[in-house]
Amino acid sequence: MTLAIIGGTGLTQISDLTIIGQKTLDTPFGAPSADYVFGKINGRQLVFLARHGNPHRIPPHKINYRANIWGLKQLGVTEIIAVAAVGGISSAMAPAHIAIPDQLIDYSYGREHTFFADDLEHVTHIDFTEPYSPDLRQRIIQAANDAGIAITANGTYGCTQGPRLETVAEIKRLAQDGCDLVGMTGMPEASLARELEMAYANISVVANWGAGIVAGEITMAEIERNLEIGMNKAIALLKATVLLS
């Protein structure tokens, strides 16, 4: 069992990761976002990938999700924990809070979203009833409990196109659809992992309230301040989860 961590906005590297090597890969789908970094946390080996590149330069709608996931599969990865910065919609999802979503709704468009598109011997469908792998989710939740890290152990992630933030009306629509969180990178990452039969779970770090939840504009200063707090919690949670792997 080989674990990979995909880091999103605010997590281009992990300070406690002892780096033992890195690898540049080319894939049939082009170049991944960055080199794959091999390292150890608490003595456990894992692979780390910066989703937006390192430095952070690739916007959500331009990420080569297929190359990223294909490369992890080629490296022998069987489990992926994806860390993502999100906006909070439901009342429990306050800035700097952490959630482990169990459902998602995909509002993105125009992204290369499947490996099963061309030169097929037969049409291939995947079961996506539970988009996040239950066993991996439960391990993360257990690690949070063991480490005393406050989380919300469920929630629905709404994936929008980006890179702009949403309007007040769009957040209202997401809330009416049942979304608790809004992010820009949750799909097609999750479904691509399922297509290649890798376990996948998400750690969502709330960077800000969604538009209109509280009064005023959303500022980058606010997002960066909340992410600094939230990502420190996420790193502690990752370390605790690795111990259970």
Residue 95 lies in a domain: yes
pLDDT value at residue 40: 87
Specify whether the CB–CB gap between 60 and 162 falls below 8 A: yes
Known binding residue 52? Answer is yes
Name the domain count of the chain: 1
Residue 167 lies in a domain: yes
Closest CA to 6 of 138, 147, 143, 199: 199
Per-residue model confidence as pLDDT tens digits over 41-61? 878 889 999 999 988 889 999
pLDDT value at residue 42: 78
Known binding residue 185? Answer is yes
| 3-state secondary structure at position 160 | coil
Burial class (CB in 10 A: 0-12, 13-18, 19+), 14: buried
Cis peptide before 188 (omega within 30 of 0): yes
231/84 Cα distance (integer angstroms)? 9
**Domain carrying residue 148:** 3-113+126-244
Residue 237 lies in a domain: yes
Residue numbers in the chain where pLDDT is lower than 50: none
Known binding residue 51? Answer is yes
pLDDT value at residue 54: 84
pLDDT value at residue 56: 82
6/82 Cα distance (integer angstroms)? 5
pLDDT value at residue 128: 95
pLDDT value at residue 1: 55
CATH number at residue 155: 3.40.50.1580
pLDDT value at residue 9: 67
Residue 190 lies in a domain: yes
φ, ψ of residue 191 in degrees (nearest 5): -75, -30
Residue 121 lies in a domain: no
Residue 118 lies in a domain: no
Provide the whole-model pTM: 0.92
Residue 98 lies in a domain: yes
